[in-house]
Amino acid sequence: MQTKMDTQVSPVDEALSDVMMRIVSELYDVAYLIERIEPMLNDIQGEAASNSADSVKVLQGIDLAVQKTRGLAEFIDTITGSIPQAWLVDITTAVNLVKLADMQRSLGKGLPRHGHSQPLTEDAGDFEFF
């Protein structure tokens, strides 16, 4: 006895590789945002930061966080190239669990976001209420 497999694609299914590339983009964005903290801390603390073991450890931790985030992005980017386009996933539940609206939009099926989540073109002091 043979059973017929239902090959219909759900309207919410999309290529896993496309989803993974959106995650890669978000990881690069996170690395960029973390990286922007380092010079600010140096400016705030000045030379005292380089003389304090705790401050040096914090700066090294920030640098490590950037390297790890970029490393994860490169890892996912590389393995995504070998994922067949036919592999489909429904990310509806996962996207709904994301709390940041901007990240929800960029990870969801919406239009891909270009640039960073916190562009340098905004004036200092500008912010959004959430």
**pLDDT at residue 72 greater than cutoff 60:** yes
* Residue 64: predicted pLDDT: 96
The pairs formed by 118-126 with CB atoms below 8 angstroms and a separation of 24 or more are 118/33, 118/36
Structural domains counted in the chain: 1
- Mean pLDDT in residue range 52-77: 92
Identify whether 23 is part of a domain.
Answer: yes
Give residue 4's pLDDT band: very low, low, confident or very high (50, 70, 90).
very low
Q: For residue 38, tell me if it sits in a domain.
A: yes
Establish if 67 belongs to a structural domain: yes
What integer best gives the mean pLDDT of the chain? 80
User: At residue 31, does pLDDT exceed 50?
Assistant: yes
What is the widest separation between alpha-carbon atoms in the chain?
A: 78
pTM of the predicted structure, to 2 decimals: 0.73
Residue 49 is predicted with a pLDDT of 61
Find the domain containing 39 and state its range: 13-107
> Does residue 125 sit within a domain?
no
* Residue 41 pLDDT: 79
Q: What is the DSSP letter of 88?
A: E
Joined together, the tokens standing for residue 81 give: 């190239």
Domain-embedded: residue 72: yes
Residue 124 counted as domain residue: no
pLDDT tens digit string along 58-70?
Answer: 889 999 999 999 9
